[in-house]
Amino acid sequence: MPRDLRGFIEQLEAKGQLRRITAPVDTDLEIAEIAQRMLQCGGPGLLFENVKGSPYPVAVNLMGTVDRITWAMNMESVDDLEAMGKKLALLYQPRPPKKIKQAFDLGKVLFDVLKAKPDLDLFPVCQQIVLKDDEVDLHQIPMLKVYPGDAGKVVTLGLMITKDPETKIPNIGVYRLQLQDKNTMTVQWLSVRGATRHLRKAAEMGKSLEVAVAIGVDPIVIMAAATPLPLDMSEWLFAGLYSGSGIHLAKCKTVDLEVPANSEFVLEGTITPGETAIDGPAGDHMGYYGPVRENAPLVRFHCMTHRKNPIYMTSFSGRPPKEDAMMAIALNRIYTPILRQQVPEIQDFFLPMESLSYKAAILSIDKSYPGQARRAALAFWSALPQFTYTKFVIVVDKDINIRDPRAVVWAMTSKVDPARDVFILPDNPFDSLDFATERSGLGSKMGIDATTKMYPETDRVWGDALISDPETAAQVSQRWAEYGLDDIDLTVADPNKFGYET
């Protein structure tokens, strides 16, 4: 398992999933345009080795496919992701075991947690070069300008580490940072994120919030930062659980925080509550330029450390497919067992990439009583913080393939009476980047019950579903070659042909 960015790059190259670009390229729009085209076609990761105005190479699109994300997590297929989700579900809300096997499974997970405890590296490579105060110049980092209307260059895959000022439990998140000048950046984040809670607490205590940003880390740590965790559980522990052994951390030089010891770059600084600057416009995950924010928190960096000859790892947001959409597909599989534990009637769920991987969710349930679909939708919205901003929830029966858009549309059109089966929840906290809402940060949610109705949901007798005769279907399968049709690729109707994961 690669334990740093360089190991992952070597792994991708060995699998034929990396291209080294030696032609000179510009960080202003050109690199992003090349990467856009690779993302659209599911192409390889890219390492630009000749970046204009910088001695440092730029890595992008390393996690541009689900396969590459599973490799980063020391797994071979997406099926392994759900197995990991089952392990995490035991920790997310452990219940007293009722059977010996349950106790054994929980014991194995707890032992894995012991092995996953992070340790400190006394001579971390991320501090081979140390720059402080006036030596700090963020322009040395080859940040990208992605879209022509962007206000400035951005860091998109930096891990921002903060600590709760009271409990000292760290939070690791991935937020967009926009360059302001040689030692300051503004941060774009949502109000439900861990770092925002820490800043509010620091403000109440009259303190500045210490911040570290680690860039170019083992991708497994990025996935851990994106995993839904209980508020008082560390992402470092989960990263170790993913990888099978503890993450190596390093104490920062000037702030009381720890960062991955093998990071390529580390920025250390503080946010003073109330100190803000103008942020944006910038291209965002909704597929539009985000609005200008007059009061974005300002981060002042007073120390920068990095490895010798560091590699700058980046990505960018926008209309899917993008790297964050591929990460969301992988996380969808990990979320599933956790969600089933929170809402037992949910059999499966799917966050379509085309819905930005969180704006719409499709749930399947084993329906056994009237009103259950509505209950499942309401429970989904409150199950995990990640689902707070899900705009649409469609609930279908367990026999519907939720990853096949044709099957879902059929269920909606054949089982839904809008007056009875569509319900709307107005005035919910919402994604401020969603322009569809009338007021910024406040919007509505829609639930659609596309399940088969039962009394008293309807007084009508529901017709039987149309299915092939089993004996005839088996006979046709046996005689398929005899018909002279064995050269026909029947998988053309598979949902994968439409870009969906099965």
Cα dihedral sign for 254, 255, 260, 264?
negative
Q: Confidence class of residue 105 from pLDDT cuts 50, 70 and 90?
A: low
Residues 6+ away with beta carbon under 8 Å from 10: 2
Domains 5-314 and 343-450 share a fold: no
pTM of the full structure? 0.81
Give the DSSP letter of residue 281: -
**Helix-strand-coil percent breakdown of the chain, rounded to 5?**
35, 25, 40
First to last CA, the chain: 26
On the question of pLDDT at 27 being above 90, the answer is yes
What is the structure's pLDDT at 128? 97
More confident position, 189 or 144: 144
| 279 assigned to active site | no
On the question of pLDDT at 31 being above 90, the answer is yes
Out of 20-34, 52-66, 284-298, 444-458, pick the least confident.
284-298
Give the mean model confidence (pLDDT) for residues 446-471. Answer: 89
Residue of 310, 320, 360, 285 whose CA lies nearest to 125: 310
On the question of pLDDT at 447 being above 50, the answer is yes
CATH topology for 5-314 is Pnp Oxidase; Chain A (2.30.110)
Give the DSSP letter of residue 360: E
What is the structure's pLDDT at 310? 97
Catalytic residue among 279, 284, 404, 449: 284
Give the mean model confidence (pLDDT) for residues 23-33. Answer: 94
What are the backbone dihedrals phi and psi of residue 38, each rounded to the nearest 5 degrees, phi first?
A: -65, -40
Give the mean model confidence (pLDDT) for residues 470-485. Answer: 89
Contact predicate 225/172, CB 8 Å: yes
What is the structure's pLDDT at 96? 56
Query: How would you classify the pairing of strands 289-290 and 154-155?
Result: unpaired
Give the mean model confidence (pLDDT) for residues 378-394. Answer: 87
On the question of pLDDT at 502 being above 50, the answer is no
On the question of pLDDT at 100 being above 80, the answer is no
| Phi-psi domain of 96 (left: phi exceeds 0; alpha: psi -120 through 50; beta: other) | beta
Number of CB atoms found within 10 A of residue 207's CB: 14
Rg value, the chain, Cα: 24
As a whole number of angstroms, the distance between CA 292 and CA 280 comes to: 5
More confident position, 107 or 145: 145
Query: How would you classify the pairing of strands 392-397 and 360-365?
Result: parallel
Domain positions in the chain are 5-314, 343-450
Question: Residue 97 to residues 102, 104, 241: CA-CA distances in angstroms?
Answer: 5, 9, 21
For 354, what's the count of Cα atoms within 13 Å in the CB-facing half-sphere? Answer: 8
What is the structure's pLDDT at 499? 42
| Domain 343-450 sits in CATH 3.40.1670.10 | yes
What are the backbone dihedrals phi and psi of residue 34, each rounded to the nearest 5 degrees, phi first?
A: -65, -45
Q: Confidence class of residue 160 from pLDDT cuts 50, 70 and 90?
A: very high
On the question of pLDDT at 108 being above 50, the answer is yes
As a whole number of angstroms, the distance between CA 373 and CA 379 comes to: 10
Give the DSSP letter of residue 213: E
Residue holding tokens 């401020």?
Answer: 432
Reduced to 3 states (helix: H, G, I; strand: E, B; else coil), residue 280 is coil
As a whole number of angstroms, the distance between CA 79 and CA 38 comes to: 25
Which two structure tokens, joined as six digits, stand for 13? 């190259």
Give the mean model confidence (pLDDT) for residues 305-318. Answer: 94
What is the structure's pLDDT at 229? 60
Could you read off the pLDDT of 373-382 as tens digits, one per residue? 999 999 999 8
Which two structure tokens, joined as six digits, stand for 347? 């059999």
What is the structure's pLDDT at 73? 82
Report the DSSP beta bridge partners of residue 313.
59
Reduced to 3 states (helix: H, G, I; strand: E, B; else coil), residue 467 is coil
Could you read off the pLDDT of 326-342 as tens digits, one per residue? 888 888 888 788 788 87
As a whole number of angstroms, the distance between CA 10 and CA 375 comes to: 48
